[in-house]
Amino acid sequence: MTEPGLYHFLFISAALFFIGVYGFFTRRNLVTMLMSVELILNSVNLNFIAFNKYLWPDRLDGVFFTIFIIAIAAAEAAVAIAIIINLYRSHQSIDVENAEELKF
Amino acid sequence: MLNATYIALIPLLPLAGFIMLGIFGRKYFKNTSGVIGTALLLASTLLALYTAYGYFFEYGRVEGVYQKLVPLKYTWLEFSRGVSIDMGIILDPISAMMLVVVTFVSLMVHIYSLAYMKGEERFPTYYAFLGLFTFSMLGLVVSSNIFQIYIFWELVGVSSFLLIGYYYDKPSAVAACKKAFIVTRFADVGFLIGILILSFYSGTLDFNTLIATLTSPESTEYKNAVTASFLGVSALTWGLVLVFVGGAGKSAMFPLHIWLPDAMEGPTPVSALIHAATMVVAGVFLVARLFPVFAISSPAALGLVGYVGAISALIAAVIACTQTDIKRVLAYSTMSQIGYMMFALGVSGYGGEEGLGYTASMFHLFTHAMFKALLFLGAGAVIHFIHSNEMKDMGGLRKYLPITHITFLIACLAIAGVPPFAGFFSKEEILLAAYQHSPTIYWIALITSGLTAFYMFRLYFSIFWNKEHHPHSGHHGEGGFAMMMPLLLLAVGAAAAGFIPFGHFVSSDGKALETGFHLQFSIAPVALALAGIFIAMWMYRRQNDKPEKIAASLNGLYKAAYHKFYIDEIYMFITRKIIFNLIGRPAAWFDKHVVDGLVNLTGDGTEMISEGIKRIQSGKVQQYAVYFLAGVIGLALLFIYVWK
């Protein structure tokens, strides 16, 4: 059992990212799509942390960036959930197809 | 002493009246607007008299020569060094004289209108427009810059448009004001091009510098302007002729006079203002302002001025003999008298005895302002009494309108040139100047003066003698003090203005000019004038059939003159048939199909493209995400493999 290196982290991060993208593309439920977006954001966070730790261990830029993204993700989740609740109130459903009328 | 503030106030007070009455008049000064306008103009008149007195008797003359003073100059717009549009005041004999004439006549009209326009719905608006008109004309006469004069020139055009179209619910008034505006505007194009030519060659827009450079044969500007030529005529002459076209439009010279008789649709006091002091004399004033350039540098242009003036004077006099609307007779008489002023300038030379025509022209402008204002205001009193403009409705009014009758008679004698009334002296000088320089013009002028006496007394006898007047019920008097006082004051002017030794004050080079009285010379014109008066008396004193018989015997000529020599019809033919069909319609077609077509093409093209691609916005969020991802991947590939 060897010590995990940078590539392990990057592998997990890439896997999380594509799982998130796949989920975002395929789910019909808006809450699930929101969760997928969170996965994507977290994969990015993992990337930042990993690079920070392995490449510039004496600096904290990556950590700061991660905290920043977590804050933004929280705000984004609040806005997204507000939109979803409004959609539910008007359509009694949180299916993404209901939002299709927001076109030209 | 010379005080620029006082001079600047002369035009600015009427402007203040215009702004105040124009904005607040209908709400707050419904009944007092006339008094306010008149009071402001009274102040302005007093300042003008004070200024003129100071200029002529105190500081204007330096070693026997009247100076061109510029007490105020404010650079408004500078194009390049030396070429700038200034707002300034020039004080020289003609502007000082014009300040007095314009304010005085305008004051008379203001006072007269207090009674004449009483009870009009738009009374405050009327006074506001009068203020604007007076302001424009005063600004025009004091302009120190050729572009400044152009600005005020256009303002005069606009305000005359507003006043002629004052009765805007009358279709004929609307047509008349449009005609006046379009015809004068058309002439102003010539004026603008003339300004551009003159300022291009002289390198300045300032009057004093412009006149100085274009009259000194040594200056390079002068040489350039004379050597450059187009169609065999020098650029300088072209410039002056085009400026004169503008002046001819405003002064109603043949063939641009067609707007003047129609302008009679305005209220009668306005006609008095337009014809006596403002608007129509603007053209004469413009030529007088640039007179040194005309006289010294371009005798050809000056000759044109002379002949156009003489022809206008004669044609207008002939037409005036046949018209039946009293205001139209007066309109044509104005055109004829303005023609006199024009050809007096045309036959004049520059400096000393040669400049007699110039002095005579300005003198005639001065006396004409008095008696023409008087004639129009008198005609206004008659129209007020009769409620008609037609001669056939009048007759025998001498008992009913005694003051109007006497003052009108004085004005008629003055315009006919009977001594010792004002018109006699100025007309004598004009005829003398014409006699010395151009026999052709002298003979035209002599015939015209006979005709003038005839048609003025035809008017006089038709209104005040001829058949008996049978008053209707609801009879009212002459119109009270406000209407009679201007008549009396102007009558004093028309009777006595001739005794002013005008040559001492106004002459082409500023030096005093002794204008003698030549008894032998005056015999011919006075005899002709008296003959005209007696013929008119013989024909019109009592109601008879002589006029019809004579008209019938002159069949063709009478008919042509009655229809104003068909000049309106010729204009109509040229505009309707030739310009509209050959230029207007093709231009309209080009505009509709080519210009509009191009614009519509871009519009339609954009619409078609957007119609095609709008499906991309499907509303499916996940589809957008796919596009987005594809785009990101595409960009990544691009950066990794192509633009390494």
CB pairs A-B closer than 8 Å: 25
Q: What is the DSSP string of B112-152?
A: HHHHHTTT-TTHHHHHHHHHHHHHHHHHHHH--BHHHHHHH
Amino acid A19: pLDDT = 94
Query: Cis omega (within 30 of 0) on the bond before B255?
Result: yes
Residues of A in contact with B607 (CB under 8 A): none
Looking at residue A67, which CATH number applies to its domain? 1.10.287.3510
A63: contact with B, CB 8 A cutoff: no
DSSP conformation letters of B330-391: HHHHHHHHHHHHHHHHHT--SSGGGGHHHHHHHHHHHHHHHHHHHHHHHHHHHHHHHS--BG
Q: Is the CB of residue B195 less than 8 Å from the CB of residue B243? A: yes
Q: Assess B620–A contact: CB distance below 8 Å, yes or no.
A: yes
> How far is A21 from chain B, CA to nearest CA, in Å?
9
Q: Do B622 and A25 touch (CB under 8 A)?
A: yes
Cβ of residue A96 closer than 8 Å to a chain B Cβ? yes
Name every chain B residue with its beta carbon within 8 A of the beta carbon of A83: none
Residue A4, CA distances (Å) to A9, A11, A12, A52 in order: 8, 11, 11, 15
Q: Provide the pLDDT confidence category of residue A22 given band limits of 50, 70 and 90.
A: very high
Chain A residues with CB-CB distance to B622 below 8 A: 24-26, 33, 96
Q: Is residue A100 part of a domain?
A: no
Residue A101, domain member (yes or no): no
Q: pTM for the whole thing?
A: 0.77
Give the distance from CA B165 to its chain's centroid.
16
pLDDT score of B605? 94
Q: From the list B614, B622, B626, which residue is nearest A104 (CB)?
A: B614
Number of domains in chain A: 1
Most A CBs within 10 Å: which of B620, B626, B628, as the mutation test of the A interface? B620
B474: phi > 0 → left, psi -120 to 50 → alpha, else beta; which? left
- pLDDT at B475 (0 to 100): 55
Q: Is A24 on the interface with B (CB under 8 A)?
A: yes
Q: What is the pLDDT of residue B476?
A: 62
A81 falls within a domain? yes
B484, B476 Cβ separation under 8 angstroms: no
In the stretch 599-618 of chain B, residues with CB closer than 8 A to chain A read 614, 617-618
Taking residue B474's Cβ as centre, other Cβ atoms within 10 Å add up to 5
- Asked if residue A36 belongs to a domain, the reply is yes
Where b means 16+ CB within 10 Å and e means fewer, B609-632 reads: eeeeeeeeeeeeebeebeeeeeee
Out of A25, A103, A104, whose CB is closest to B625? A25
Average pLDDT of span A29-54: 92
Q: Are the beta carbons of B249 and B183 closer than 8 angstroms?
A: yes
Identify which has the larger pLDDT, A83 or B121: A83
Give me the residue from A25, A33, A102 closest to B619, CB to CB: A102
Is there a domain that residue A104 lies in?
no
Rounded CA gap, B335 and A62, in Å? 94
Q: Does residue A72 fall inside a structural domain?
A: yes
Assigned domain for A85 exists: yes
Residue A78 maps to a domain? yes
DSSP B542: S
Q: Which pLDDT value is given to residue A48?
A: 92
Q: Quick one: tokens of B7? A: 């001079």
Per-residue model confidence (pLDDT) at position A104? 61
Residue-number span of the structural domain to which A52 is assigned = 6-95
Return the pLDDT at A20: 93
- From the list B354, B367, B355, B453, the residue with the least C-alpha distance to B412 is B453
Judging contacts by C-beta atoms under 8 Å, the chain B residues touching residue A91 are none
Q: What is the ipTM of this complex?
A: 0.82
- Which range, of A13-22, A86-95, B28-37, B107-116, averages the lowest pLDDT? B28-37
Chain A residues inside the 8 Å CB shell of B619: 99-103
Q: What is the mean pLDDT of each run of 10 residues along chain B (644 residues)?
A: 78 88 81 85 89 83 78 81 82 87 89 82 85 90 88 89 86 86 88 88 81 78 72 80 88 83 84 82 88 83 87 87 84 88 84 79 88 87 81 76 85 84 84 84 86 86 76 62 82 82 77 72 81 81 73 73 75 79 87 91 93 82 88 93 82
Alpha carbons B187 and B246: distance in angstroms, whole number = 5
Phi, psi torsion values for B400, nearest 5 degrees: -85, -30
Whether residue A32 lies within 8 A of chain B, CB to CB, comes out as: no
Find chain A residues with C-beta within 8 A of B612's C-beta.
none
